[in-house]
Amino acid sequence: NVLGSLPFADNTFDFAHQRYLILAIPAGRWPRVVSELLRVTRPGGWIELVETEPPSGAPAIDQLAAWGKQLVGKRGIDMAMAGQIGPLLSAAGATQVMAQTRTIPVGKPGGRIGSMMVVDYLSALAGIRGPLASLGIASEAAFDQVIAQARLEFDQREFPQNIYVAYARKP
* Averaged pLDDT for residues 149-155: 97
Q: How far apart are CA 81 and CA 73, in angstroms?
A: 12
pLDDT (0 to 100) of residue 1: 84
Q: What pLDDT does residue 140 have?
A: 96
Q: pLDDT of 36-65, one tens digit each? A: 999 999 999 999 999 999 999 999 999 999
In this predicted structure, the answer to whether residue 113 has a pLDDT above a threshold of 90 is yes
The phi, psi pair for 116, rounded to 5°, reads -65, -40
Average pLDDT over residues 106-118: 96
Q: Could you tell me which of 23, 2, 18 has the C-alpha nearest to residue 131?
A: 23
Q: Please state the rounded mean pLDDT for residues 64-76.
A: 95
